[in-house]
Amino acid sequence: MSSNVTDLAKQISGIITTDIGLFILTTGLLGNILNIIVFLSLKTFRETSCAFYLTSASFANIIQLVATLFSRILITGYNIDLTQTSLFLCKLLINAGYSIYYSRFLFPILLGFLPLIIRIIFGLLAFVNVRRLKKHQTPIVRLEHDKQLTTMVLVEVTIDVLITLPYIIYNHIYSNSVTFYDPISNAQDQLIIAVTRIIFYGNFAIAFYIYFCVSSRFRKQLVYVFVEIHLKRWRERTHRNGTNQIVPQTPDILQKTDDVN
């Protein structure tokens, strides 16, 4: 009975990591790339420090998804372990000092609490900035633009907290302090870790979809960037290449040209 429960828990954990992980990886890469295109295509975003932070966060999200989630999908679903093919990664894996550093500082602090605290600080600064602009005679366009970015950042930070805390609390506070002796409890623990971990990875994939849902202005900007800027440029480039194309002359035309000359 215990072996059946253990096998089922492992199977569910694998499905969560592989199937849901692939979905999060695909949608996350697409969403972050769209964020970068929109933020870099519009002058109003390029001149704003808050938008610069969002652009940098999108690049960081892509790196995080590829470096952590993709490698975990390869190991769990396809038995491809990059640490077995890379000498550098293999040395890091078997290095005791690095293992302690990774488990006690790198993952819980640098990849857990610290990014969360930084996002909360940026969200509060964005909110304070909008409150400050309201007290001054700020142009309506600038004020509406800052309101848009503030709303996007605050909603993202709120969802970040809700997504990140369960994983950090369970994996680095509870799970590391409790020892599971029977196989069923250990399998249940691994299943909970798989669920909270995949939700945690979703934190790096949902930014674009948050902006799209909470900001009608962002939706209009997205359409404008792709239709009025990039699609129009592509059409102009295609038309220009078509008009500059040299039409080859047939032998009959060449003969008539020689007769005229």
Q: Which of 6-15, 36-45, 71-80, 83-92 has the lowest mean pLDDT?
A: 83-92
Is residue 128 in some structural domain? yes
- Total structural domains within the chain: 1
What band does 259 get if pLDDT is binned at 50, 70 and 90? Answer: very low
Across 176-188, average pLDDT:
79
Rounded Cα–Cα distance for residues 174 and 189 (Å): 10
Rounded Cα–Cα distance for residues 146 and 132 (Å): 11
| Rounded CA Rg of the chain | 26
Domain of 148: which CATH number? 1.20.1070.10
Is residue 184 in some structural domain? yes
Percentage of the chain exceeding pLDDT 90 = 33
What band does 175 get if pLDDT is binned at 50, 70 and 90? Answer: low
Rounded Cα–Cα distance for residues 231 and 226 (Å): 6
Rounded Cα–Cα distance for residues 252 and 156 (Å): 68
Position 141 pLDDT exceeds 50: yes
Rounded Cα–Cα distance for residues 183 and 46 (Å): 54
Q: Write the pLDDT tens digit of every residue in 144-162.
A: 877 888 888 889 988 988 9
Is residue 234 in some structural domain? no
What confidence score (pLDDT) does residue 5 get?
83
Q: Rounded mean pLDDT of the chain?
A: 80
Is residue 260 in some structural domain? no
Q: Write the pLDDT tens digit of every residue in 212-253.
A: 999 999 999 999 999 999 999 898 888 888 776 655 555 554
Is residue 145 in some structural domain? yes
Is residue 249 in some structural domain? no
Phi-psi region of 196 (alpha: psi -120 to 50; beta: other; left: phi over 0): alpha
The answer to whether 155 touches 212, Cβ cutoff 8 Å, is: no
Q: Which among 43, 38, 36 is positioned nearest to 60, based on CA atoms? A: 36
Question: Where do we find the tokens 């003969």?
Answer: 255
The answer to whether 170 touches 176, Cβ cutoff 8 Å, is: no
Structural domain span for residue 129: 2-214
Residue 253's H or E segment, with its range, is: helix 251-260
What confidence score (pLDDT) does residue 258 get?
38
